[in-house]
Amino acid sequence: MTDANVQPQNRGLPVKRSKSTRWTVIYGDRIAKWIITVGGLMVIVAVLGIMVFLFRVVAPLMSPGEETGQVNYAVPEAADAVWLNADEFQSLATAVSRDGSVTTFHVATGEVIVTDQFDIGETIVTAVGGTLDRRNIAVGFADGTVRFGQIAFDNRSVPASAAPGDMRQLNARDMVSGGQIYSQVQTGDFRTIIPINELGESEQISEARIVALDYRTGGTAERPTSAFISVDADGIARVSRSVIRRNLMTNEETVTTTTTEMPPLNLDEGVEVTGALLASGGDRAFVSTDDGFIYRFDIRNENNPVLAERFRAFDDGIGISSMNFLNGELALVAGGEDGSVDVFFRLQPANARGSDRFEMVRARSHAPQGDAIIGMSEAIRDKTLTTLSADGSVWVRYSTSDEILFQFERTSPADVDAIPMLFPRSDGVLMLDTFGNVDAWQYRSPHPEVSLSVIFGRLWYEGYSEPGFTWQSTSGTDLFEPKYSLVPLIAGTLKAAFYAMLFATPIAIMAAIYTSEFVHKGVRATVKPVMELMESLPTVVLGFLAALVLAPLVEEWIAAVLLGFIAVPMGLMIGAFAWQMLPQQLALRYDGMPKFLLMGAAIILSCLFAYTVGPIFELVLFNGDFKGWTNGQGTGTPFMFLLQLPLAYLIVSWGFHKVFGHVLRDRMRNLDRAAAGRLDAIRWVAFFIGALVLSYVVAALLTALGYDPRGNVVDSYQQRNALVVGFVMAFAVIPAMYTLAEDALNAVPGHLRAGSLASGATPWQTAKWVVLPTAASGVFSAVMMGMGRAVGETMIVVMAAGNTPIMEWNIFSGLRTLSANIAIELPEAVKDGTNYRVLFLAALTLFIMTFVINTGAELIRQRYRKRSANL
Amino acid sequence: MANPEDSISTAAIGVSTGKPATRTGGKRVRSFTADLSAVGEPALWGFGGALAIGIILIAGFLAIIAWNGFTTFWPKPIEQVELVDGTVIAGEPTRYNTFTVGESVLARLNDAQRQEIEDNFGFANRTLYKTANFDLYGDDFTWAADFDIANVERPSGYYLFERQQWGTFVGFPASLVIGGEETAYDQGLMQREQRAARSRFADIRRLERRDIGRINHNQERARLDSRKALLQYGENDPRYLARVEVNNARIAELQNEFVEVQQRISDIRAIDSQYRVILEEVNGRTVDTNLSQIVRFYAANDVNWFQQAGIYLSRWGEFLTTEPREANTQGGVLPAIFGTVAMTMLMVVFVAPFGVITALYLREYAKQGKLVSIVRISVNNLAGVPSIVYGVFGLGFFAYTMGTTIDQLFYAERLPSPTFGTGGLLWASLTLALLTVPVVIVATEEALSAVPRSMREGSLACGASKWQTIRYVVLPKALPGIMTGMILAMARGAGEVAPLMLVGVVKLAPALPIDGFAPFIHLERSFMHLGFHIFDVGFQSRNSEAGKPMVFVTTLLLLGLIVLMNATAIYVRNRLKKKYAGSQF
């Protein structure tokens, strides 16, 4: 009945009622529908949005970069150059020619800004060596003398008001005035680049022409030191060291130079030296020749230099045309006459070739270029390297990832010698050939150090004895080689999740089955909310307990903990078999709460037992020192024995049932309950003893065969380890898994249960054969959801896992997960830097991992729901 | 056992056909024998054991937290321990444990002691004493092994001083300096003067916080105003120059005020330094402290139960209402409580509409099909995505992308220092809103489905539109359920720490997000959080042992908050279920 029908009767008055719906209602309805539909679909947008955003941040990592500009021109004044340097803003470049003339030109246009002539007398320049930052040079001459100098650039900021008036525009960015480059920066001020060209006094080093030089500076500001290596035309290498002492009173500088002659190279007739290198540490020097040998000198003892090693870099007959360090000086790059580019590390293998027990090991073979490598230049701030081949190709490579970032082709004739140079910020290549032709390329490569092979592949990093997966993202210096492999982090994530699931799955599923099938409804009504409450407990609390309370306890009582893993199931079994021996009425009367309390008591008693007997257990099996055992004392037998115990029990019991099962069953049928219980208990004890014996025999056998569990799933013990993390994380995962599994079990229609029970099945048989198979997919989806949570858990791992990114399955060692890594490193990461993006990639990996797991679980659950609704 | 009795039992035992049926008293009775495998007793014990383990773990966990949390503030006696080698230490016994005695230690023991340790499988007991006096000893704690202790006593006269800086002091008050003159120690005098000194200390605090804070705030505002004018008008515009003049005058004026306040503070400080106490530790070394630095003191071995309870309550009071000191390891957690609550409330504001609308869509508007299935998978995914990923998203999208844009548009004068372009309260609560939205969706859906269909049909039959039905019939009925979802979301959000570490939580916030300066609510500010406080004090303070009690109490507080919220939610939900159980008509 509606109002319209009621009112006229009540009041006796006809009511005029509009038949049409008010427009506000119609539009209100439409707007609501629209808003709600859009709002509902926003959830999809949110999920996709997160994924798209993460992808967008990560994407630039995968691109090698882009070429942003290219110029070529001729600077005739700079012909015959032997040294080239440029500033970090790509404004100016300075070339030193063989005759001592110095030409500074504008990189973008080729316009000559300053020319200068060093006073070098009659002789000519034959070799130049630069320091790592290219600012300081040592120049070797045909007469065997060496001079030191500076080809550098100073950059200053000049306020707009102080800028000179006669500035002439060179290109869009730069202006020139008085031999200096002015560029306006964002704040309106000018950045000024000033070339500095200096050459010092000469010093006689050799009688013969200097053919190769390398120069290093070091020491402190008060006491600078410098060292250089020179090789002359007679094949003699010399290392000279200078110490400059400044007298504080008179401010006078005294330079002491000591020159040590290296053991002779004994070069064959016609063999020429193609390069010399000196390491900053002053401990090693290298000389390369065009017959393919690299000589390594051990000069740690200044007075007694040793030729530590002489080795062939490439195949027979292939000379070394170019040699260089990568930045950091840990890796030696050799370019061959056939175009190959190989990287060598100085390592300490077992049978090292070198007399100092080191050996240069070929660690990376980069892609060969078509023809001989005639020039090479390393970056100052990362592991980028540019190589110039005689076929005219100029490649920019990133050595760590063995990736070719750019391939340029020179416009000047390919067969003319040229000097290539990477700009200091690794954002371009400058090349000057003998006739003064210049090629310059400009590129942008924000993340050269990352590629797919870096993130997921096995790489050989500097200073490591073999290729591996390593995560080590940051360090204090530019010389450090960043290692961005996510593999150890993914392995750590899986390890933590695996051990957590190992604890959580049985407990959660079994507890869910018990609650759903064997417990009174009232108990269920209290237990379940408690478990749900557990679900929202902050994990930071669990992590804190794990790290500060549990980890020290477990470390101290590790033997008792291990024993506990055996004692608790044993205690429960003893309880079960004792219960079976109870007379029927008693068993029935106390079924329910008292029985459950007994179970709890059995667990607590088992724990107490483990606590008390732990030291004895440790004494008997591990000689009283479990941690010593994990470090390699004693044999692997005891742990194997413990590990195999459950398996051995299963084998024994299965074997017995196969052979004597029906005999026992027939016999038991003729007994009353108590007697059968006793027989069953005896059977169990016999099984257990059988399992003990079997397990020990197998363990001893395996030990005899040389198998040891240590070094694999068990190894040396650390306080913050996977055992503790797994246990506590299980604690965080159990409530979710339990609730979901219980829901699934509970959703099994009651009539199935009733049918089974009515057919005479016991509750246990009903649970085992009817309820569980029906709910299996739901339970499985609960396990997957639990897995998803374990994978992403952060705080527990950050606090209790030790956070060492290592790859091993040792349950007693720490780990670092993707999530913990993000939490630790992202707050410090520079926005849009490489580490920032790699951490976003870690987040994306996590997102995808959980996305797959959760979507799978949800699909299974939806299907299960549909199916169980049809039952 | 006799057979007839067995026959009474029903489902609990298996049915066997192995034995021929017998007749008793003319009735044919089937024999029920014991096929134990049908009952599966061992398996049942295994399953029940699993549940018991779960419950024991939870109970144990809560018990550890509760015990440690509740006992931390209870004043403990001070023990004076004389060691075998003659040194004397004094401190609160904190905890005991058993340890493996090292080789080098064994070597210096006598035979009897060694024998005793050997009998105990190489273990011995030791006690951790909180000897305090960090400024003298460089450490707060000392272990004393049982075999090293010659004598333990609790002599009366020991005092425990809680200081504003350097943590606690264990020892005796040697003498007092009152008004610059040294006098002998007197408890009544000390109590009186300490109270007066504390009020002076509070005065200084207030001047520093309120007056200097206001001056700084206004100076900064004037400076920013000048910069804003610069950006707006350009360098040589007269309007800009006029504004600068006004602002500079204002800054100068404030500077004068600042000097004045500073003078007042140093005046109080001068008086303050005339009231001091000289403290003496067990071995006679002394420390001279201003009385205003003593937060609390008591004669540890001479207080009665009533006084102990007073100290206990006063410590709780301090914990709940003051700011932290000593690198967060002492004092209170008021800013953290404040931050947690503010963040959670703000989160609810964001999460409520989004969650309810999605649930309405799923329950009331969407046609069941592929799309709804995808939405459900999305909801499930939102629930399953690790919280840290939300943190990453929040940092990258909210703070760095949206925040930077906001900064450029509205706070250009403050650049390059970010306003919204870094972690803060707003971004943290938005991030957590995203994280907790599935909780609200699920709970709201449940509540909507609990509204009887008949009510909806009744409303529609009366001519109400769909929206009117939802607005006036469904939503009011579902409101308690929706509230449950909100509370659950709050509980989840309040306990989440990992994403907050990326989007705005700090260990010590300089200012609360709500204060007396316009616009009063500062959404861009970073804040403190109880959960992060636990992490910070437990893992990043100078001495995690000293911070441990604080961590336990903070944990207790956080757990209390969350359990309370959850319990409320469960209570509301249960009531709701009962209410609707019989409301079908």
Interface contact B492-A536, CB threshold 8 A: yes
Interface contact A43-B437, CB threshold 8 A: yes
pLDDT, position B18 = 41
pLDDT, position A12 = 54
DSSP track, A398-438:
ETTTTEEEEEEE-SS-TTS-EEEEE-TTSSEEEEEETTSEE
Integer Cα distance of A662 and A656 in angstroms: 10
Interface contact B42-A25, CB threshold 8 A: no
| Same domain membership, residue A481 and residue A511 | no
Contact B366, B378 (CB under 8 A): no
pLDDT, position A508 = 93
pLDDT at A282 over 90: no
Confidence class of residue A844 from pLDDT cuts 50, 70 and 90? very high
| Same domain membership, residue A819 and residue A791 | yes
Q: Is the C-alpha dihedral spanning A74, A79, A80, A86 positive or negative? A: negative
Residues 6 or more apart whose Cβ sits within 8 Å of residue A35: B357
Torsion of CA B240, B245, B251, B257, to 10 degrees: -150
DSSP A86: E
The domain made up of B336-581 has a fold known as: MetI-like fold (1.10.3720)
Q: From the list B11, B375, B388, which residue is nearest A822 (CB)?
A: B388
On chain A, the residues whose CB falls within 8 A of the CB of B60 are none
Q: Is residue A137 part of a domain?
A: no
- Average the pLDDT over A178-192 and give the result: 84
* pLDDT tens digits for range A692-732: 999 999 988 988 888 887 777 788 888 888 899 999 999 88
Q: Which residues partner with A150 through β-bridges?
A: A136, A198
Integer Cα distance of A853 and A497 in angstroms: 13
- Average the pLDDT over A816-834 and give the result: 89
Interface size between A and B, measured as CB pairs under 8 A: 379
Give A535→chain B minimum CA distance, Å.
9
On chain A, the residues whose CB falls within 8 A of the CB of B5 are 584-585
Give A755→chain B minimum CA distance, Å.
13
CATH number of the CATH domain containing A512: 1.10.3720.10
Report the amino acid identity of residue B26.
Answer: G
Confidence class of residue A263 from pLDDT cuts 50, 70 and 90? confident
DSSP track, A669-737:
HTS-HHHHHHHHHHHHHHHHHHHHHHHHHHHHHHHHTT--SBTTTB-S--SS-HHHHHHHHHHHHHHHH
Interface contact B538-A677, CB threshold 8 A: no
pLDDT at A180 over 90: no
pLDDT, position B12 = 40
Give A165→chain B minimum CA distance, Å.
21
Interface contact A40-B437, CB threshold 8 A: no
Interface contact A858-B462, CB threshold 8 A: no
The residue with greater pLDDT, A54 or B235, is A54
pLDDT at A14 over 70: no
Interface contact B19-A731, CB threshold 8 A: no
- Chain A residue with the nearest C-alpha to that of B499: A823
| Same domain membership, residue A719 and residue A581 | yes
Range of the domain at A464: 452-485
> Which of B45, B119, B501 to mutate to test binding with chain A, by most A CBs within 10 Å of its CB?
B45
- Average the pLDDT over A411-439 and give the result: 90
pLDDT, position A475 = 66
Give B486→chain A minimum CA distance, Å.
13
On chain B, the residues whose CB falls within 8 A of the CB of A580 are 36, 39, 41
| Same domain membership, residue A786 and residue A741 | yes
On chain B, the residues whose CB falls within 8 A of the CB of A661 are none
Q: Which residues partner with B130 through β-bridges?
A: B92, B141
Confidence class of residue A466 from pLDDT cuts 50, 70 and 90? confident
Label residues A511-529 b or e (16+ Cβ within 10 Å = b).
bbbbbbbbbeeebeeebbb
pLDDT, position A248 = 67
Q: Which residues partner with B23 through β-bridges?
A: B28
pLDDT, position A11 = 53
| Same domain membership, residue A834 and residue A773 | yes
| Same domain membership, residue A522 and residue A480 | no
On chain B, the residues whose CB falls within 8 A of the CB of A670 are 18-19, 33
3-state helix, strand, coil in chain A (%, to 5): 45, 25, 30
- Average the pLDDT over A254-270 and give the result: 83
Q: Is residue A23 part of a domain?
A: no
Residue among A288, A291, A302 at smallest CA distance from A360? A288
Interface contact A843-B393, CB threshold 8 A: yes
pLDDT, position A476 = 64
Q: Which residues partner with A148 through β-bridges?
A: A138
Label residues A57-69 b or e (16+ Cβ within 10 Å = b).
bbeebeebbebee
pLDDT, position B23 = 45
- Average the pLDDT over A298-319 and give the result: 86
| Same domain membership, residue A496 and residue A615 | yes
- Chain A residue with the nearest C-alpha to that of B16: A669
Interface contact B465-A763, CB threshold 8 A: no
- Chain B residue with the nearest C-alpha to that of A569: B46
On chain B, the residues whose CB falls within 8 A of the CB of A53 are 393, 396-397
Task: Report pTM.
Answer: 0.88
Give B5→chain A minimum CA distance, Å.
8
Q: Is residue A588 part of a domain?
A: yes
The interface predicted TM-score (ipTM) is 0.86
Count of other CB atoms within 10 angstroms of residue B408: 11
Confidence class of residue A1 from pLDDT cuts 50, 70 and 90? very low
Confidence class of residue A4 from pLDDT cuts 50, 70 and 90? very low
DSSP track, B360-397:
HIIIIIPPSSHHHHHHHHHHHHHHHS-HHHHHHHIIII
A31 CB-side CA count, 13 A? 7
Q: Which residues partner with B279 through β-bridges?
A: B173, B287
Residue among A496, A565, A564, A535 at smallest CA distance from A724? A496
Interface contact A32-B12, CB threshold 8 A: no
Q: Which residues of chain B carry a pLDDT beneath 50?
A: 1-24, 26, 28-32, 582-585
> Which of B6, B236, B385 to mutate to test binding with chain A, by most A CBs within 10 Å of its CB?
B385
pLDDT, position B13 = 41
3-state secondary structure of A124: coil
pLDDT at A422 over 50: yes
| Same domain membership, residue A743 and residue A857 | yes
Q: Is residue A714 part of a domain?
A: yes
Q: Is residue A501 part of a domain?
A: yes
Interface contact A823-B37, CB threshold 8 A: no
* pLDDT tens digits for range B35-84: 677 778 888 899 999 999 988 988 898 899 999 999 988 898 899 988 88
Q: Which residues partner with A361 through β-bridges?
A: A345
Interface contact A510-B46, CB threshold 8 A: yes
Give A507→chain B minimum CA distance, Å.
5
Element (H, E) at A112: strand A112-117
User: For chain A, what is the largest distance between any 2 Cα atoms, rounded to a whole number of angstroms?
Assistant: 134
Integer Cα distance of A772 and B43 in angstroms: 14
Report residue B204 as tokens.
């200084």
pLDDT, position B105 = 81
pLDDT at A561 over 60: yes
Q: Is residue A555 part of a domain?
A: yes
pLDDT, position A344 = 92
| Same domain membership, residue A481 and residue A554 | no
Interface contact A510-B558, CB threshold 8 A: no
Residue that is written with structure tokens 């606690």 in the block:
B168
Contact A196, A152 (CB under 8 A): yes
| Same domain membership, residue A456 and residue A503 | no
- Average the pLDDT over A616-631 and give the result: 82
Contact B172, B178 (CB under 8 A): no
pLDDT, position B310 = 92
Give A823→chain B minimum CA distance, Å.
7
> Which of A34, A42, A50, A785 to mutate to test binding with chain B, by most B CBs within 10 Å of its CB?
A50
* pLDDT tens digits for range A724-733: 999 999 988 9
Kindly report the average pLDDT of chain A as a whole number: 86
pLDDT, position A161 = 80
Confidence class of residue A179 from pLDDT cuts 50, 70 and 90? confident
On chain B, the residues whose CB falls within 8 A of the CB of A683 are none
Q: Calculate the alpha carbon distances from A191 to A158, A177, A426, B94 in Å.
A: 6, 13, 20, 63
Interface contact A57-B396, CB threshold 8 A: yes
Structural domain total, chain A? 2
3-state secondary structure of A323: strand
Percent of chain A surpassing pLDDT 70: 97
> Which of A515, A573, A762, A799 to mutate to test binding with chain B, by most B CBs within 10 Å of its CB?
A762
On chain A, the residues whose CB falls within 8 A of the CB of B357 are 35-36, 39-40, 42
> Which of B106, B467, B500, B536 to mutate to test binding with chain A, by most A CBs within 10 Å of its CB?
B467
- Chain B residue with the nearest C-alpha to that of A734: B54
Count of other CB atoms within 10 angstroms of residue B263: 9
Give A762→chain B minimum CA distance, Å.
5
